[in-house]
């Protein structure tokens, strides 16, 4: 197949729409089920590149959850803790395969943003992963293959309309990439930068202790940023992105947005959230929304007007700002990547509030000395990679 007609482009009024190979060759993917859309394919191809690089960098299966051409989550397939199994709503699924664990972690880091995602998998999709995908609200999945049982289950999703794509894992795109904007063709070299430990050699802070676990997390952060709409910042802990700030005009807004998501991820693990008295008849998405309200600043309004009764069996206690701050202070050892330099030390101060200990950023700001001083004031370890990772 060298051409695929799409229903429409980014919006229903943008017709006709298709994907094809400029040289007339075969497309590097097959549609096994459903009908992908324009944005579905943009998510799929960016996500596939991301998980392929995560697998290459770590040697472990990887998964990504994409929405609007940026990842909502990305992770490698490490075993889930009991708490992670609970906050990712997979307690009832038994022991998960490494690939399924990767997707549970990618989806679970920011479940609200992942609602209706497009999934990318580094390995052949097994039945465990298909069972997890089948129960979530999602638009489609791309993987290098599917077991017979996994494909049958996924093809039954969305009344048989779920989008299942098979990518050719051996496909290598041309070294030049092209796109048109306003009728003008842009051309540039493809970003084939390999993220490795060598990027973390230039440590500019007084604290130079960078363990391998932090190097791995920083690599995950930078690989994730490589396929995230800029400006972007990514917080990573234990092999998974826990907060991604994408597409912001100001870097401090990226850092705040990603930090707030990382905070929410950690607050979900608090005893106050784990013991919430949910009604047994509500859906997972409603539980996610309720938790977001509960840990937010406007939960007192929810209590006041009685809306809690639609979700909880009894009125939950308020999670005070003081209690939340005390819990968040326990989140330590977080790694942070930035796709461009931090222009001010305020980014460091905000990152510190979300447990950041290790930072990788390009460097090159006229205020690098102030940024380094801010990192030193919190005994952080910061690397200047010399590499910018803008993605548009």
Which amino acids are annotated catalytic? 67-68, 231, 392
Give how far the C-alpha of residue 355 lies from the chain's centroid of Cα atoms, to the nearest Å: 18
Instruction: Write the CA distances from 112 to 26, 292, 334, 338, integer angstroms.
Output: 36, 8, 22, 23
Residue 184: what are its φ and ψ, rounded to 5°?
Answer: -105, 130
Residue with tokens 């290459």: 56
What is the C-alpha radius of gyration for the chain, rounded to an integer number of angstroms? 21
d(CA 383, CA 272): 36
Distance of alpha carbon 138 from alpha carbon 115, whole angstroms: 7
Q: How far apart are the first and last CA of the chain?
A: 28
- Tell me the helix, strand and coil percentages in the chain, rounded to 5: 40, 20, 40
Beta bridge partner(s), residue 235:
243, 336
82 Cβ contact list (under 8 Å, min separation 6): none
């Amino acid at each position: 197949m060298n051409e695929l007609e799409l229903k429409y482009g980014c919006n229903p009024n943008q017709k006709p729409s298709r994907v094809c190979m400029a040289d007339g060759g075969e497309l590097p993917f097959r549609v096994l089920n459903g009908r992908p859309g324009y944005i579905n394919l943009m998510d799929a191809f960016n996500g596939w590149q991301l998980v392929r690089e995560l697998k290459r960098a770590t040697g472990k299966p990887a998964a990504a959850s994409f929405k609007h051409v940026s990842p909502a989550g990305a992770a490698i397939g490490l075993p889930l803790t009991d708490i992670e199994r609970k906050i990712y709503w997979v307690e009832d699924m038994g022991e998960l395969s490494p690939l399924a664990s990767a997707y549970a972690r990618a989806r679970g880091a920011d479940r609200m943003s992942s609602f209706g995602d497009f999934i990318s998998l580094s390995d052949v999709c097994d039945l465990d992963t298909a069972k997890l995908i089948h129960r979530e609200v999602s638009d489609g999945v791309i993987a290098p293959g599917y077991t017979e049982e996994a494909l049958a289950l996924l093809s039954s999703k969305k009344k048989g309309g779920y989008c299942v794509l098979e990518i050719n894992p051996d496909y290598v795109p041309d070294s030049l990439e092209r796109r048109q904007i306003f009728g003008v063709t842009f051309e540039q070299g493809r970003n084939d930068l390999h993220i490795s430990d060598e990027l973390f050699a230039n440590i500019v802070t007084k604290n130079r202790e960078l363990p391998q676990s932090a190097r791995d997390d920083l690599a995950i952060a930078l690989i994730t940023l490589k396929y995230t709409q800029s400006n972007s910042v990514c917080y990573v802990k234990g092999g998974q992105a826990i907060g991604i700030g994408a597409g912001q005009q100001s870097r401090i807004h990226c850092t705040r947005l990603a930090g707030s998501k990382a905070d929410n991820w950690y607050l979900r693990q608090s005893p106050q959230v784990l013991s919430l008295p949910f009604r047994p008849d509500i859906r997972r998405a409603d539980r996610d929304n309720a938790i977001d309200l509960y840990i937010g600043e406007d939960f007192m309004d929810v209590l006041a007007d009685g809306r809690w009764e639609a979700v909880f069996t009894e009125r939950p206690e308020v999670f005070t700002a003081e209690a939340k701050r005390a819990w968040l202070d326990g989140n330590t050892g977080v790694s942070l990547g930035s796709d461009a330099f931090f222009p001010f030390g305020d980014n460091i101060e905000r990152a510190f509030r979300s447990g950041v200990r290790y930072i990788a950023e390009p460097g090159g700001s006229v205020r690098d000395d102030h940024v380094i001083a801010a990192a030193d004031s919190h005994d952080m370890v910061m690397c200047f990679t010399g590499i910018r990772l803008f993605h548009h």
